[in-house]
Amino acid sequence: MTRSSVRFLHRGEVVSLTEVGPNETLLDFLRLRRQACGTKEGCAEGDCGACTVALGTLRDGRLEYAPVNACICLLGMIDGKELVVVEDLAGPDGALHPVQDAVLRHHGNQCGFCTPGIVMSLFTLYHAGGRPDRQAVNDTLAGNLCRCTGYRPIVDAALEVCTGAPRDTFAARSAATAESLAALDDGEDLFIGDEATGFLAAPATVDALARLYARHPDATLVAGATDVGLWITKQMQALPKIIHVGRVAGLSDMRETERGFHIGAAVTCARAEPAMAAIDPDLVELFRRFGGKQVRSVGTLGGNIANGSPIGDSMPALIALGTTLHLRRGEATRSLPLEDFFIDYGKQDRAAGEFVTGIDVPRLGAGEVFRCYKISKRFDQDISALLGAFRFTLEGRRVTGARVAFGGMAATPKRAAATEAALKSLRLDDPDDWEAACEALAMDFQPIDDMRASARYRLETAQALLRKALHEAGGEASAATRILGLRPEDTERAA
C-alpha cells in the first residue's frame, strides 16, 4: 500500500499534507506556510540551533523527544512523529512552560534569536526525566550557539527545572500522544509526486526501498539529512528525487550479535551510543563530540559512511575496530571490510542503485586495547582536523597486532598499513622502540594543508596520538594524558 501524504501530530491533531516538495525544509514549512516564526533561522546549516524544534517518537512504547535542526530537516522526514515548536509550549491559559519560566527567572533569555532554540533543547532535556548535572546540560546545549555568552544563567535554569519526571501538559497527555503516534505508524510506503519529474518517497520496507532505488538510481537517498540538508540550503542544489530511508523498518534495527553489534543504516548516532559504550568508553567521548545533540538525534552512521568524507568521525574508529559494511542493490547483497569501501575523495565502492543496509561492529577481544582521539579547534560541535583510532592486540607487554586508521590525513578515511607493520612485536615498556612506527606514519600519509590544519601539524599530531595511545595501552592512566573524558578505571585511580 502507498500513501501520498505526509502525516504527523501537532498540538494533539493529525496534520496531513499532500503538497510537500522533495526539498522543502521543516523550517520553511513553519515560517513560510504556517507563519509560525518563533522558530528562527540563523545559519541554515545545522550549526547554531536557533531553529531547534522537538520531535516526539514512539520507541518500544515510550514517547521520546529529540531536538532537531528544522533548517536542514526535510518536511517529509517528520512523517509519523509529533512536532513540538516553541509556540506550542505555553499552556492554554498562556502560562509559560516550566522551562520558559525557569529561563526567564534566571535571566537566561537574551537576544531573542537564540532563546527559542535553547528553550526547545531544554524542553527535550526536561522530558528526558533525569537529573542532569552541569556537564550534561552543557552537552545538551552544545548545538545551541549564544554569542552573547549568556550560558551561565541558561545552565542554571536548566539545572533547576530539569529534575525528575516532567510535569507539563505534554506529560499529562503523553498516553493519548503515544496512541495517536501508534495509529500513524501504518507501515505504508509514502510517495508524493511523480516518477517522471520528481518525488518525495519514504518506503517502509527494505524490499520497497531496493525496488524504488533500482528504478531511480539518480535519486538522492536521505537518512538524517545532516549532510544532504546543506546541499539544499547552502549549495542551493535542487534534488528532484528524494528517497528517505528513515522509515524503512529493516534499516532501523540495532541488535547485539555473537561478535558485537549490528547497526542498521538508519540508526541515528544517538541511538547507536549504547552499543558504542558497550564496546569502549573512547567511542562515547567520540560520539559526544559528533555534532551537537540536534545532529546526533537524526544523523546516522549509515549517512556518515555513505557520505565518505575524509574528515567524517565514525569511519576511522569503525575501521580500526574491524567493521564490516553491508550493501544491497535490487535483490543482491554483499559485504566488505569498511576500509575497502573508500576508493578516493568523494568516490566509494557503491554501484548505482546500491545502498548501505548496515554495519557489523565487533567487540574487543581478550588482550585487545582500543583508543581514539578527535582533534578539532573547538571541543564541541566542530569538524575534525584529524582523528586517530588504534586497536592493539597485546601479549603481555608486547604488541602482536594492530589496526590503525586516521581521518583527515588522506583523501579518504584510511588504514595505516606501514605503521601497523612497524607496530608488530613492539615493546610497550620501551618508548624508544616506538619511533619506527611513528616514522612509518609518514610513509602511510602525505596530508594536505588546509584551513583546519597544516600538513606538518597533521603529521606531527598523528605521531603524537600514536605515542599517546601506546602510553595508555601500556597502562598509563588516561587521567595523565587527557583533559576530559576519563575512562572509568582512571576515575577510580584518580579518586
Ligand X SMILES: Cc1cc2nc3c(=O)[nH]c(=O)nc-3n(C[C@H](O)[C@H](O)[C@H](O)COP(=O)(O)OP(=O)(O)OC[C@H]3O[C@@H](n4cnc5c(N)ncnc54)[C@H](O)[C@@H]3O)c2cc1C
What DSSP character marks residue 95? P
- Separation CA 138–CA 133 (nearest Å): 9
**Minimum distance between the CB of residue 385 and ligand X, rounded to whole angstroms?**
12
Nearer to ligand X, 280 or 420 (CB): 280
Length of the chain: 495
- CA-closest candidate to residue 123, choices 99, 157, 95: 99
Which residues does residue 374 pair with via DSSP β-bridges, in sequence order?
387
**Minimum distance between the CB of residue 350 and ligand FES, rounded to whole angstroms?**
29
Binding mask 100-139 for ligand FES (x = CB under 6 A): ----------xx-xxx------------------------
| Residue of 21, 22, 42, 46 interacting with ligand X (CB under 6 A) | 46
Q: Per rule CB under 6 A, is residue 303 in the interface with ligand X?
A: yes
Q: Which does 392 bind (CB under 5 to 8 A by kind): ligand FES, ligand X, none?
A: none
Contact 54, 84 (CB under 8 A): yes
Cell of 248: 524503512
Binding mask 348-377 for ligand X (x = CB under 6 A): -------xx---------------------
Q: Per rule CB under 6 A, is residue 304 in the interface with ligand X?
A: yes
Contact 198, 204 (CB under 8 A): no
Residues between 49 and 68 with contacts to ligand FES, criterion CB under 6 A: 49-51
- Separation CA 350–CA 34 (nearest Å): 40
% helix / strand / coil in the chain, to the nearest 5?
35, 25, 40
Contact 96, 90 (CB under 8 A): yes
Binding mask 376-415 for ligand X (x = CB under 6 A): -----x----------------------------------
| Residue of 24, 28, 41, 47 interacting with ligand X (CB under 6 A) | 47
What 3-state DSSP class applies to 495? Answer: coil
Q: Per rule CB under 6 A, is residue 43 in the interface with ligand FES?
A: yes
Q: Per rule CB under 6 A, is residue 193 in the interface with ligand X?
A: no
Nearer to ligand X, 97 or 296 (CB): 296
- Separation CA 257–CA 94 (nearest Å): 50
**Minimum distance between the CB of residue 226 and ligand X, rounded to whole angstroms?**
3
Q: Per rule CB under 6 A, is residue 420 in the interface with ligand FES?
A: no
Handedness of CA 482, 485, 487, 490 (dihedral sign): positive
Q: Per rule CB under 6 A, is residue 150 in the interface with ligand FES?
A: yes
**Minimum distance between the CB of residue 211 and ligand FES, rounded to whole angstroms?**
34
Interface region with ligand FES, contact rule CB under 6 A, candidates 37-45, 169-177, 250-258, 419-427: 37-45
Nearer to ligand X, 227 or 360 (CB): 227
- CA-closest candidate to residue 244, choices 187, 195, 194, 191: 191
Contact 447, 439 (CB under 8 A): no
Q: Which does 304 bind (CB under 5 to 8 A by kind): ligand FES, ligand X, none?
A: ligand X
CA 241 to chain centre: 24
Alpha helices in 239-298 (DSSP H): 269-279, 281-288, 293-296
Interface region with ligand X, contact rule CB under 6 A, candidates 32-40, 43-51, 363-371, 397-405: 43-51
Strands (E), 12-107: 13-17, 52-59, 62-69, 82-84
Q: Per rule CB under 6 A, is residue 300 in the interface with ligand X?
A: yes
The site that binds ligand X (CB under 6 A) totals a number of residues, namely 29
Cell of 52: 531547534
Q: Which does 44 bind (CB under 5 to 8 A by kind): ligand X, ligand FES, none?
A: ligand FES
CB atoms within 10 A of CB 431: 13
- Separation CA 336–CA 358 (nearest Å): 11
Residues of this chain that interact with ligand X (CB under 6 A) are 45-47, 220-228, 245, 265, 290-291, 295, 299-300, 302-304, 306-307, 312-313, 355-356, 381
- Residue ranges binding ligand FES (CB under 6 A): 41-44, 46-51, 69, 71, 110-111, 113-115, 146-148, 150
